[in-house]
Structures are given as structure tokens and as C-alpha cells.
């Protein structure tokens, strides 16, 4: 049996990989260089491998060291999460649920979700219910730990187990981008509208209500910062079908800022219904839902055999976490029902 790992060795290796030298790592960690070297040598001894290549230009992980660094990031992240969860449970009797969201959806849903959770009665864990006289202070509830980020990064964090849930968007009806390890639940769909400056003039529509994008061949488009943004991919496909590649002149995820750019005649954009402006200087052209729309999804990790690998043994921490996630999922459904 391998000797248990000392996380200080993982901390040292991660710091060296990030900073490029033992000296810089020691400064960042506020350790001495001998201390960093000691914990690194101890980690190499336990794992039986050389993890660092040293040169006059600095220190860098070996091939095996790169593998250990990637695992160290996961392990130390879980340690940080454990500390935060225990602190939250101790101080507020709350079970944290880590939820991510693309900013445009998060700004709309998360505040309402937080308010909805505050209305829920506190509940007892399995072990507390079994106690003869459970104290009121042991009543608990779910608490949100929110991350706003790009779509691809949220998917990666879900797969890595760093998030419990994520509010994502898609315009792909068959959801082919969703990895097999994840499960998506459709919450609601939004109409998309083409927004152009009034000065551009009227845009003709075809028999299906689609705007003639060829009229915008000389215009500058505002796209998302996220290179894989679902709406941008739809816009690009429509423009290519109209005979041109859209000229992207700016990238931003702040729809209020995009609208100001459109009003000033600096851009055109396709914007979801929830962010469509009330601005007389902006021409709003709704696009047919059957041609394009934005689906808002609640994505979670799929249940696997690993979740029941404990042979039926009850784990109160897992049970409380699962109950908190179920509570958040239910409330997401409640707060998004108004947009279905």
C-alpha cells in the first residue's frame, strides 16, 4: 500500500508549475526555498518518480509531473471545496450547491432562484430525523455557490465534478454538444431578434418571416466573447447561406453595451428576447421560432454506477448534498416556468 500523500507536496508542485521556478513558488507560498524543496522531494519519494526538471532558466514538470500537476489541481480544489462546505454548514447550517451559468441567463435566473430558495422551509438530514430530539439549530437548507463563465468552461467544470449544475444555452435541437457524462433538461426557449440601427433602413422579410441578411453584408457584427457561442454559430450559418461571411467587429457579452453600439450605428446583432431593447433608434426584427431560437437548459452530471458503489451504505453527507441539489433543481423549474 502506498504511503499517504502529503498535500503540501502537491501544493509545492502546483506552485512551481504555475510560477516556473522554486524561488518564485516559495515567494508565492510564503515558504522558504528549502521548505518547498523538502515537500517536493517527499512527494517524489512517495510516488517513486522524478516530477521536476531543473535548469538555469527555471524548473518545469516532467511528463509524469504534468500528470501529477493536473491531479493536484483536482485534489486541492476538492480540499478547498471541503473547507468551504464545512464552514458554510457550521455557520449557517446550509448545504452548498455549486451552480454555473452563462452570464445572460444567470443574470435573469439566479436572483429569482435565490429568492425562491429563501421561501423554502429548512429540512433535516437523514441522521437528524433519526435522532430522538433534534435541535432546531440542526435544521438545514440549500445555499447557492454561483459561477458565471463561458459555455465551454462550464461544461468542463461540470465534467470534472467542480459544479453540480449549470444553466447553459443551445440552438442545437438535438443537443449534440452535450457529452455523454452530462444530462440536460429543457427549461424554456427564447425568440431571437435581429437588431439593427434605424439608419440601416427597412430589412425585407421572406415568406417565412426571415430577414434578408444579404442587406447587411457591409455591416459590422457584434459577437460573443465565447468563440463557441450558440447564437453566433446560428448567425454565421445564416450569413453564409446568404452568400457572405459576417464581419465581426466587436466581441462582448454585455447586451446593454451591444445595444448602445447598435444605437450608435456601430454594429448589428442577434439578441435573445429577454435582452431586446426598448430603444427608438434600434430596429427590432423578430426571427421565426421554427427557424432559430435559444434554448435554456439545466445541465447536470449523469447518475452512474459509481454513485451506488458504496453497496447501499448510507452516507449522510452525500444524502444531504443530493437533497440540496434536488431542492435547487425544483426551484429552477419554478422560477423559469413564467418564460415557457
Residue-level pLDDT at 30: 93
Look at the block and give the residue holding cell 449544475: 165
Gyration radius of the chain's alpha carbons = 25
Give the strand pairing for 220-223 and 247-251.
parallel
Supply the pLDDT for residue 322.
86
Helices 33-47, 22-29: inter-axial angle, 10-degree rounding: 110
Identify which has the larger pLDDT, 313 or 105: 105
CB of 155 closer than 8 Å to CB of 176? no
Q: How confident is the model at residue 314 (pLDDT cuts 50, 70, 90)?
A: low
Fold of 191-293: D-Maltodextrin-Binding Protein; domain 2 (3.40.190)
- 142-163 burial, b at 16+ Cβ within 10 Å, e below that, comes to bbbeeebbbbeebbebbeeebb
pLDDT for res 318: 76
pLDDT at position 329:
95
Q: How many residues does the chain have?
A: 340
Among 59-63, 73-77, 164-168, whose mean pLDDT is lowest? Answer: 73-77
What is the rounded average pLDDT for all residues in the chain? 85
Share of the chain above pLDDT 90, in %: 53
Do 7-88 and 191-293 come out as alike in CATH topology?
no
Does pLDDT of 309 surpass 70? no
What is the arithmetic mean of pLDDT over 22-38? 93
Residue ranges covered by each domain of the chain = 7-88, 93-122+139-186+296-303+313-339, 191-293
**Alpha-carbon span 337 to 331, nearest angstrom:** 10
Burial of 109-124, coded b for 16+ CB within 10 Å and e otherwise, reads bbeebeebbeeeeebb
**pLDDT greater than 50 at residue 310:** no
- Any idea which architecture 7-88 has in CATH? Orthogonal Bundle (1.10)
Query: Using one digit for the tens of pLDDT, what is the confidence trace for 142-157?
Result: 889 899 998 888 998 9
CATH code matching the domain that covers 93-122+139-186+296-303+313-339, chosen among 3.90.850.10, 3.40.1010.10, 3.40.190.10, 3.50.50.60: 3.40.190.10
Mean pLDDT in residue range 324-332 = 93
pLDDT at 92 over 60: no
Specify the pLDDT at position 320: 79
Classify each residue of 21-47 as buried b or exposed e, where b means 16 or more C-beta atoms within 10 Å of its C-beta: bbebbbeebebeeeebbebbebbbeeb
Structure confidence at residue 308 (pLDDT):
43
| pLDDT exceeds 60 at position 305 | no
Using pLDDT thresholds of 50, 70 and 90, give the confidence band for residue 129: very low
CB-CB contact of 122 with 93 (8 Å): yes
DSSP of 122-151, one letter per residue? PB--HHHHHSSS--GGG-BEEEEEEEE--H
At residue 200, the 3 state secondary structure works out as helix
Question: What is the β-pairing status of strands 293-301 and 165-170?
Answer: antiparallel
158-176: average pLDDT: 82
In angstroms, the CA 51 to CA 41 distance is 9
pLDDT band, very low/low/confident/very high, at 81 (cuts 50, 70, 90): confident
Q: Is the pLDDT of residue 133 over 60?
A: no
C-alpha cell at 14: 502546483
Q: Is the pLDDT of residue 295 over 80?
A: yes
Q: Which range has the worst mean pLDDT, 143-152, 161-170, 173-182, 326-335?
A: 173-182
Amino acid at each position: 500500500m502506498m504511503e499517504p500523500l502529503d498535500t503540501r507536496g502537491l501544493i509545492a508542485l502546483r506552485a512551481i508549475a504555475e510560477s516556473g521556478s522554486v524561488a518564485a513558488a516559495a515567494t508565492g507560498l510564503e515558504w522558504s526555498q528549502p521548505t518547498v524543496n523538502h515537500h517536493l522531494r517527499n512527494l517524489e519519494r512517495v510516488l517513486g518518480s522524478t516530477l521536476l526538471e531543473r535548469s538555469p532558466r527555471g524548473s518545469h514538470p516532467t511528463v509524469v509531473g504534468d500528470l501529477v500537476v493536473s491531479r493536484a489541481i483536482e485534489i486541492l480544489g476538492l480540499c478547498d471545496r471541503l473547507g468551504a462546505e464545512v464552514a458554510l454548514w457550521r455557520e449557517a447550517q446550509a448545504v452548498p450547491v455549486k451552480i454555473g451559468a452563462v452570464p445572460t441567463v444567470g443574470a435573469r435566473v439566479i436572483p429569482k432562484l435565490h429568492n425562491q430558495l429563501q421561501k423554502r422551509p429548512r429540512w433535516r438530514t437523514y441522521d437528524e430525523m433519526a435522532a430522538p430530539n433534534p435541535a432546531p439549530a440542526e435544521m438545514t437548507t440549500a445555499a447557492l455557490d454561483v459561477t458565471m463563465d463561458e459555455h465551454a468552461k462550464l461544461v468542463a467544470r461540470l465534467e470534472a465534478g467542480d459544479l453540480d449544475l449549470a444553466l447553459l444555452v443551445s440552438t442545437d435541437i438535438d443537443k449534440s454538444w452535450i457529452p455523454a457524462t452530462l444530462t440536460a433538461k429543457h427549461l424554456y426557449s427564447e425568440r431571437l431578434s435581429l437588431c439593427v440601427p434605424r439608419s440601416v433602413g427597412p430589412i425585407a422579410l421572406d415568406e417565412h418571416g426571415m430577414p434578408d441578411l444579404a442587406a447587411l453584408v457591409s455591416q459590422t457584427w457584434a459577437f460573443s466573447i465565447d468563440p463557441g457561442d450558440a447564437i453566433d454559430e446560428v448567425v454565421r450559418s445564416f450569413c453564409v447561406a446568404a452568400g457572405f461571411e459576417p464581419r465581426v467587429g466587436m466581441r462582448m457579452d454585455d447586451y446593454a453595451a451591444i445595444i448602445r453600439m447598435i444605437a450608435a450605428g456601430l454594429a448589428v446583432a442577434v439578441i435573445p428576447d429577454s435582452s431586446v431593447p426598448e430603444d427608438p433608434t434600434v430596429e427590432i426584427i423578430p426571427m421565426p421560432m421554427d427557424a432559430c431560437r435559444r434554448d435554456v437548459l439545466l445541465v447536470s452530471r449523469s447518475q452512474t454506477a459509481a454513485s451506488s458503489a458504496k453497496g447501499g451504505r448510507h452516507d449522510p453527507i452525500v444524502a444531504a448534498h443530493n437533497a440540496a441539489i434536488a431542492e435547487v433543481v425544483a426551484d429552477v423549474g419554478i422560477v423559469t416556468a413564467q418564460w415557457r
